[in-house]
A and B are shown apart, each in its own frame.
Chain A
Amino acid sequence: MDALVAQLQMQYRNYTVSLYQQGFLDDQFTELKKLQDDASPDFVAEVLSLFFEDCVKLIGNMARALDQTGTVDFSQVGASVHQLKGSSSSVGAKRVKGLCITFKEYCEANNYEGCVRCLQQVDIEFKALQTKLQDMFNLEKQIIQAGGKVPQVDIN
């Protein structure tokens, strides 16, 4: 049992570190983990879940705004990008946030092709993060089920 826990914990550590190293997460995600405790053990998962719902909604808004053939309201697109930039920043979704910064610039430049490209990338990126985090949360569950504790991972 202990060997299994130790193995899972090592897997978890490595996986988490890789997410930071690959730029999926930044230290705001670490800040969110500080807000999780035994009384609120799923806080991070819940916030991220809300974030992903937000992504779906906002990306939908952007797609609709960009779909107005000939009369694209770039400020409307930009407003949704601004909101997504804000929430991705708040949860530590580093790649999504970075894309939003570029996306915002394209909106301000009224660059249709640039915006469409960014929209596609943002969609891919948030889904990739969602999958990665799901794997991470699953590892946490496995550790707990095996009788262990989820280790604090030091990112440095």
Chain B
Amino acid sequence: MARDGGVSCLRSSETMRVGIGGMESPPLDLDDVHVLAVDDSLVDRIVIERLLRITSCKVTAVDSGWRALEFLGLDNEKASAELDRLKVDLIITDYCMPGMTGYELLKKIKESSSFRQVPVVIMSSENVLTRIDRCLEEGAEDFLLKPVKLADVKRLRSSLTRDVKLSNANKRKLPEDSVPVNTSLPPPPSPFTISPDSSDSSPPSTISPESSDSSPPLSPVEIFSSPLSSLLDDEDDDVLPSSPESSPAPEESPVRRQKMGSPGLD
């Protein structure tokens, strides 16, 4: 168990698998869910790490928003080829952290073109509705009340598996020289713009692996991942947003995705 305050990766091989350091990446394991966990408390970091690993996630745990941005490559302007391989399927962060709060981290992630589609879950020990609302408005997928339980993480995990499988199936069809994903380059003209007048456009949610032969190349991170639960539709009462009963059926997710806008537009 790593005890330092920095990045704690329980298995360095997992870090290498996400291609940091320019190593040749092994074939993508389609069932791999890679989670970036952010929490300034060591105890909480160890617990969340264990919760995630026990639900078959690969985990990278860091102790601050700055380290998270560093890990994601969002702390500098340099284009990096390695980022093509950086696969983060979920970011789960504590809200109250010194320096950069989870909310500020959420905003920075949602501002980045590389990672804005990655679901971000906020954890907090305080059940403050205005805080929850603010995070959801900023694009957080879910809000978990601490202490986090196994059932919470299992629920997150099962939502993710389906979406990672979908998006990974699309990744397999990518040509070798797919569009770069670095934020410093202007966004490439997206052949897959969601526009009403596009005659052959189909809603992103209905992409199935079999039909992607004829689909335009997708940037590795411009994947359409379903939100974990459509909290925007929930009634705002005292019930925690993270309660399983409030999660809508997956079919509702296309509405949410189109709200987020297409990658090529800002």
Residues A35 and B51 in contact, CB atoms below 8 Å apart? yes
- B46 and chain A: residue at smallest CB distance: A47
| Stretch in A67-75, A79-87, A120-128, A136-144 with 4+ CB within 8 Å of B | A79-87
Would you call A51 and B50 a contact (CB within 8 A)? no
Provide the residues of chain B in CB contact with A50, threshold 8 Å. Answer: 3, 42-43, 46
* Interchain CB contact under 8 A, B44 and A87: yes
Interface string of A74-109 (1 = CB under 8 A from B): 000000001101110111100000000000000000
Residue B147 CB within 8 A of the other chain:
yes
Quick check: is B249 within 8 A (CB to CB) of the other chain?
Answer: no
Residue from B42, B44, B150 in contact with A31 in the complex, judged by beta carbons closer than 8 Å = B150
Is A117 interfacial (CB 8 A cutoff)?
no
Contact in complex: B50, A86 (CB < 8 Å): no
Cα distance A28–B150 in the bound complex, in angstroms: 10
Given the known interface contacts A31-B147, A35-B150, A46-B1, the answer about A90 and B51 at a Cβ–Cβ threshold of 8 Å is no
Assuming the contacts A31-B149, A86-B125, A89-B147, asked whether A51 and B54 have C-beta atoms less than 8 A apart, the reply is no
Give the chain B neighbours of A64 by CB distance below 8 A.
none
Taking residues whose C-beta sits less than 8 angstroms from the other chain, chain A's interface range is 20 to 34
How distant is A48 from chain B, measured CB to nearest CB, in Å? Answer: 9
- Give the residue name and chain of the B residue nearest to A42 (CB): B1
Q: How far is the CB of A101 from chain B (nearest CB, A)?
A: 11
Judge whether A20 is part of the interface by a CB distance below 8 angstroms. no
B1-15 residues at the A interface, CB under 8 angstroms: 1, 3
Of the candidates B43, B149, B150, which one forms a contact with A91 in the assembled complex, judged by CB atoms under 8 Å apart?
B43
Q: Is B146 located at the chain interface by the 8 A CB criterion? A: yes
Q: Tell yes or no: A32 within 8 A of B by CB.
A: yes
Is the beta-carbon distance between B41 and A86 smaller than 8 angstroms?
yes
Chain A residue numbers with a CB within 8 Å of B148 are 90
Question: Once the chains bind, are A90 and B96 in contact (CB under 8 Å)?
Answer: no
| CA gap between A140 and B51 in the complex, in Å | 23
On chain B, the residues within 8 Å of A82 by CB distance are: 96
Count the A-B residue pairs with Cβ separation under 8 angstroms: how many? 54
A40–B50 alpha-carbon span in the complex (Å): 10
Chain A interface main SS type: helix
User: In this assembly, does B47 line the interface, its C-beta being within 8 Å of a C-beta of chain A?
Assistant: yes
Smallest CB–CB gap between A137 and chain B, Å? 17
**B residues 30-49 in Cβ contact with A at 8 Å:** 41-44, 46-47
Q: Give Cα A35 to B148, complex, Å.
A: 12
Complex CA gap A47/B48 in Å reads 11
Residue in B1, B44, B150 whose CB lies within 8 Å of A90: B44
Q: Could you say which residues of chain B place their CB within 8 Å of the CB of A149?
A: none
Residue of B nearest to A88 (CB): B43
| Chain A residues whose C-beta falls within 8 Å of the C-beta of B43 in the assembled complex | 47, 50-51, 54, 86-87, 90-91
Which residues of chain A have C-beta atoms less than 8 A from B47's C-beta?
A: 32, 35, 47, 90-91
Which residues from chain A contact B41 at a C-beta distance below 8 Å?
Answer: 54, 83, 86-87, 90
Which residues does A use to contact B, with CB under 8 Å? 28, 31-32, 34-35, 37, 40, 43, 46-47, 50-51, 54, 82-83, 85-87, 89-92
Besides the known contacts A32-B47, A50-B3, 20 further A-B residue pairs in the complex with CB atoms under 8 A apart: A31-B147, A31-B150, A35-B47, A35-B50, A35-B150, A37-B54, A40-B50, A43-B50, A46-B46, A47-B46, A47-B50, A54-B42, A54-B43, A83-B41, A86-B125, A87-B41, A90-B41, A90-B43, A91-B47, A92-B147
